[in-house]
Amino acid sequence: MKTTRREFIKVSSLGLGGVALAGGGFSLSKLFGESKHQGLDMSKLKRYPTYCDVCFWKCAAWTYVNDKNEIKKVAGNELDTHCRGRLCPRGTGGLGMYYDDDRLKTPLIRVEKDGKQTFREASWEEALDLISGKMKDIKSKYGAESFALLKHGSPGKHFEHLFKAFGSDTIAEPAFAQCRGPRAVGFKLTFGSAVGSPETTDIRDSKCLVLIGSHIGENMHNSQVQEVSDAIDRGITIITVDPRLSTIANKSKFWLPIRPATDMALLLAWMHVLIYEELYDKKYIDKYSIGFDKLKEHVRKFTPEWAYPITDIKPNQIRETAREMAKASPAVLVHPGRHVTWYGDDAQRSRAIAILNALLGSWGKRGGFYFSEKLKVPKYPHPHYPEPNWDAKDLSKKYPLAKTGITTEVIRASIPDENTEHKVKAWMVAGTNLTQSVPNKKMTLKAIEALEFLVVVDLMPMEITGYADVILPECSYLERYDMIRSSGWRTPSIALRMPAVEPRFNSKPAWWMAKQLGEKLGLGDYFKYNDYKEVIDWQLKQLGTSLEEMKHVGVMNFNRNGRELYLKDGEDYKFKTPSGKIELYSEKLDKMGFDPIPVYKAHEKPPQNYYRLIYGRAPMHTFSKTINNPYLNDLKDTNNLWINPRVADIWGLKYGQEIWIKNQDGKVSDFPVKVRITERIRWDSVYMVHGFGHNNKKLSRAYGKGASDSQMITKVLVDPLMGGTGLRGNFVTILLDNPHKNIES
């Protein structure tokens, strides 16, 4: 289907303006006023550098503070490649993380009172003594390895150091098995390198961009969105494959509304067209790859006519889009996506995407994938970490290509009646709302029930905190130092995060908690500094600058020192694969008993009256963590369920009607969700934005608003290569009446 080009969602237009326009008692307009600078006299404000923590793009920014030490604004740093001086709406609204009065305020300890469990306030000393005591206790009973760290983002890094010093490398985060792990594995197997974060996609110079379920524009990764927006202005061809007319699909030359779970068939058919119409980059393939003949034979039968009944995409559209890609080659990007844990064959689908890029000769080419360069920040000296007897990777042995811990395997090893080689007895959870971000909540809760101890470090009273024995309140990124941001990019850069104000309430930075715990555990040698800024200053001096200098600039960009950004014509290049070539056929996979070339395998279809549950991002929210943010909640306070008009007709639904959903395993949504009837979604699927449906009443704005996709994901399609948890194999049906009515009355 061809669509007309419309103006693409611009970061700037959705940025400050969007947030400032929001009404409500706690809106930015109140803080900023109405004029160009929202009524602020910028000359009267002091500014402090930071990098944004609302998502993992880590845009460098300035925090503006007035003479009463009130934060007035967070704005992009002009020097920064991640944001090019402009923050996305979430970044602009980041000060809501600071101003949210629902924040955790002081350490809390679970106690029993009159036969009921409750939290009581505690001093830091008491809470940290309790935690270090438990850590020692677990270590002496079961070994340090049995104390696991489940983490995400900045706080996790500080605790990782503590845990490794303590003797535990039982560490995992959702960024791997719930996010981009399959992509890293698929690209590494093929090119010997992953695409990293920020991705090494050269959208700036690309002529054709293919997006496979990657919804840039709703996925608001800042400079990536800006590059796409610029590319649209200069006339790039975009091909979007998505069962939903996403924002970017709406701006694409081609929207292919694929039947969900069948992308592999389309990828194989595209390879077929490129090879059999001789459109692929012959010189590139001859010079850099191995296994072409096997690939050619493999895809011989995967014609567009074969793919049509599987994917619902017409053969002429498959051919036409393949030719568009070839026309732009090598300045063409089949985007690898980011959240790619979909159907359990995700590493193989990522590999198919990598192979397609190889056929188009785009890896290492302008407008394709560039070679990034990153500055290595020297490690602050500390003794060697002790060698643990086992670690998280040992828990993931059945997934031979998992290069890092798998959250779900750490969780499984915490359940007594699961047959695992090692047992986990206690967790620290830092910066991850596990019950929302890891599927199969029932399993997570079973593990939590069996744990001897659970400590949660968070900013907000998120659901996971409700299960903790001890809760430690971290201060927000605007109130703390953190590690130096060092980015791999076209050119290397570093950025500083420093506090603009003192922590609110009785909250503390993660580095401080880690150091206190370290000292209580007799690991003081690993924390030989009084303040983390000493670590940063030492590191910056090794890099030829200093904390003082970085406070003035926030960001420092460096020249490239290593190889060139792109491959030169005919350049010899050794890929970091076993053969030194791009591996279209993988001997390694073959030896491991996996398909050496990706194969299409049919996935389960929705049963009658059920629809596949798909989900994604909204531009103004990050996962579950921003839903209660006063400013961002003003912009969007609930999600709704996208339903095709054909389906709405069958059920007699009206726009805006409240319904409940039930999945294939009988799981019913806690809260109702409003219906959005739209042609923008296929009839076999329903769609919602992830992160809503919070069930902790302490989140005054987020509680009970919308439905949680996570709650419906009880079935997990596990990737046999690397343990990724495919989340899109769940089906829901519609309940018109409140299923909780009797329980509530």
Ligand X SMILES: Nc1nc2c(c(=O)[nH]1)N[C@H]1C(S)=C(S)[C@@H](COP(=O)(O)OP(=O)(O)OC[C@H]3O[C@@H](n4cnc5c(=O)[nH]c(N)nc54)[C@H](O)[C@@H]3O)O[C@H]1N2
Out of 237, 414, 710, 730, the only residue in the binding site for ligand X (CB under 6 A) is 710
Residue 175 interacting with ligand SF4 (CB under 6 A)? no
Using alpha carbons, select from 112, 97, 143, 11 the residue that is nearest to residue 622: 97
Residue 87 interacting with ligand SF4 (CB under 6 A)? yes
Out of 200, 226, 476, 539, the only residue in the binding site for ligand X (CB under 6 A) is 476
Report the chain's C-alpha Rg in angstroms. Answer: 25
Residue type, 374: K
Q: Which residue number, 75 or 285, has a Cβ lying nearer to ligand SF4?
A: 75
Name the strand (E) or helix (H) holding 73: strand 71-76
Among Mo ion, ligand X, ligand SF4, none, the one that 215 touches (CB under a kind-dependent 5 to 8 A) is ligand X
Strand stretches in 449-534, DSSP E: 453-458, 470-473, 485-487, 493-495
Least distance between ligand X and beta carbon 652 (Å): 25
613, HSE (Cβ side, Cα atoms, 13 Å):
28
Torsion sign (Cα): 377, 380, 381, 382: negative
DSSP state of 465: G
Out of 55, 177, 392, 686, the only residue in the binding site for ligand SF4 (CB under 6 A) is 55
H helical segments located in 149-299:
153-166, 174-175, 181-191, 222-233, 263-276, 282-288, 292-298
Q: Which residue number, 272 or 441, has a Cβ lying nearer to ligand X?
A: 441
Out of 83, 472, 567, 632, the only residue in the binding site for ligand SF4 (CB under 6 A) is 83
User: Which 399-438 positions form the footprint of ligand X (CB under 6 A)?
Assistant: 430-433, 436-437
Least distance between ligand SF4 and beta carbon 20 (Å): 15
- CB-CB contact of 518 with 162 (8 Å): yes
Q: Residue 528 has which token pair?
A: 């030989």
Residue 241 interacting with ligand X (CB under 6 A)? yes
Out of 20, 454, 597, 614, the only residue in the binding site for ligand X (CB under 6 A) is 614
Q: Which residue number, 55 or 353, has a Cβ lying nearer to ligand SF4?
A: 55
362, burial (CB in 10 Å: exposed 0-12, middle 13-18, buried 19+):
buried
Q: Which residue number, 63 or 214, has a Cβ lying nearer to Mo ion?
A: 214
Least distance between Mo ion and beta carbon 334 (Å): 19
Least distance between ligand X and beta carbon 603 (Å): 9
547, HSE (Cβ side, Cα atoms, 13 Å):
15
Least distance between ligand X and beta carbon 334 (Å): 12
Least distance between ligand SF4 and beta carbon 695 (Å): 25
Residue 276 interacting with ligand X (CB under 6 A)? no
525, 647, 675 from 250: Cα distances, Å: 56, 22, 21
Which range of residues in 118-126, 314-322, 469-477, 497-505 is near ligand X by CB under 6 A?
Answer: 469-477
Least distance between ligand SF4 and beta carbon 54 (Å): 4
Residue 672 interacting with ligand X (CB under 6 A)? no
Q: Which residue number, 289 or 710, has a Cβ lying nearer to ligand X?
A: 710
Buried b (16+ CB within 10 A) or exposed e, 673-704: bebbbbebbbebbbbbbbbbbbbbebbebbbe
How many amino acids of this chain bind Mo ion (CB under 5 A)? 2
Among Mo ion, ligand SF4, ligand X, none, the one that 222 touches (CB under a kind-dependent 5 to 8 A) is ligand SF4
Q: Residue 37 has which token pair?
A: 């600078």
Residue 91 interacting with ligand SF4 (CB under 6 A)? yes
Least distance between ligand SF4 and beta carbon 93 (Å): 9
User: Which 214-233 positions form the footprint of ligand SF4 (CB under 6 A)?
Assistant: 220-222
Out of 339, 351, 393, 425, the only residue in the binding site for ligand X (CB under 6 A) is 339
CB atoms within 10 A of CB 398: 11
Least distance between ligand SF4 and beta carbon 228 (Å): 13
- Spatial neighbors of 478 by CB under 8 A, at least 6 apart, are 50, 63, 71, 74, 94, 95, 97, 98, 499, 500, 501
Q: Residue 658 has which token pair?
A: 């409240």
Q: Residue 285 has which token pair?
A: 């393939």
Residue 732 interacting with Mo ion (CB under 5 A)? no
Among Mo ion, ligand SF4, ligand X, none, the one that 539 touches (CB under a kind-dependent 5 to 8 A) is none
Least distance between ligand SF4 and beta carbon 609 (Å): 39
Least distance between Mo ion and beta carbon 436 (Å): 13
User: Which 153-212 positions form the footprint of ligand X (CB under 6 A)?
Assistant: 155, 174-175, 178-179, 212
Q: Residue 80 has which token pair?
A: 């920064």
Task: Quote the distance between the C-alpha of residue 320 and its chain's center.
Answer: 32
| CA–CA dist 265, 309 (Å, integer) | 10
Which range of residues in 33-41, 49-57, 79-87, 441-449 is near ligand X by CB under 6 A?
Answer: 49-57
User: Which 331-360 positions form the footprint of Mo ion (CB under 5 A)?
Assistant: 339
* Residue 675, beta-bridge partner list: 641
Among ligand SF4, ligand X, Mo ion, none, the one that 83 touches (CB under a kind-dependent 5 to 8 A) is ligand SF4
| CA–CA dist 198, 223 (Å, integer) | 9
Residue 431 interacting with ligand SF4 (CB under 6 A)? no
Among Mo ion, ligand X, ligand SF4, none, the one that 263 touches (CB under a kind-dependent 5 to 8 A) is ligand X
Q: Which residue number, 319 or 617, has a Cβ lying nearer to ligand X?
A: 617
Q: Which long-range contacts (CB under 8 A, 24 or more apart) does 287-291 make?
A: 287/570, 288/358, 288/573, 288/575, 288/581, 288/582, 289/358, 289/581, 289/582, 289/583, 289/584, 290/579, 290/581, 290/582, 290/583, 290/584, 290/585, 291/583, 291/584, 291/585, 291/586, 291/596, 291/597
- CB-CB contact of 33 with 98 (8 Å): no
Out of 90, 183, 207, 728, the only residue in the binding site for ligand SF4 (CB under 6 A) is 90
* Furthest-apart CA atoms within the chain: distance in Å: 77
User: Which 540-579 positions form the footprint of ligand X (CB under 6 A)?
Assistant: none
Which range of residues in 175-183, 398-406, 411-419, 657-665 is near Mo ion by CB under 5 A?
Answer: 175-183
Kindly compute the dihedral angle of the four CA atoms of residues 192, 198, 199, 202, in this order, to the nearest 10 degrees.
-120
What are residue 428's phi and psi, to 5 degrees? -110, 130
Q: Residue 629 has which token pair?
A: 């943010």
Q: Residue 324 has which token pair?
A: 């568009």
Residue 49 interacting with ligand X (CB under 6 A)? no
**Could you identify the residue written with the tokens 């709703």?**
218
Which range of residues in 121-129, 257-265, 357-365, 494-502 is near ligand X by CB under 6 A?
Answer: 257-265
Q: Which residue number, 56 or 683, has a Cβ lying nearer to ligand X?
A: 56
Residue 88 interacting with ligand SF4 (CB under 6 A)? yes
Q: Which residue number, 473 or 616, has a Cβ lying nearer to Mo ion?
A: 616
Least distance between ligand SF4 and beta carbon 60 (Å): 9
Tell me if residue 640 falls in helix, strand or coil: strand
Residue 172 interacting with ligand SF4 (CB under 6 A)? no
Residue 179 interacting with Mo ion (CB under 5 A)? yes
Out of 47, 58, 134, 152, the only residue in the binding site for ligand SF4 (CB under 6 A) is 58
Out of 14, 16, 54, 332, the only residue in the binding site for ligand SF4 (CB under 6 A) is 54
| CA–CA dist 385, 670 (Å, integer) | 45
Using alpha carbons, select from 211, 267, 204, 196 the residue that is nearest to residue 244: 211
Residue type, 545: T
Residues of this chain that bind ligand SF4 (CB under 6 A): 52, 54-55, 57-59, 83, 87-88, 90-91, 220-222
Residues of this chain that bind Mo ion (CB under 5 A): 179, 339
Residues of this chain that bind ligand X (CB under 6 A): 53, 55-56, 152, 155, 174-175, 178-179, 212-215, 219-221, 241-244, 246, 258, 260-261, 263, 337-339, 342, 430-433, 436-437, 457-460, 462, 474, 476-477, 614-617, 619, 621-625, 687, 690, 709-710, 713, 727-728
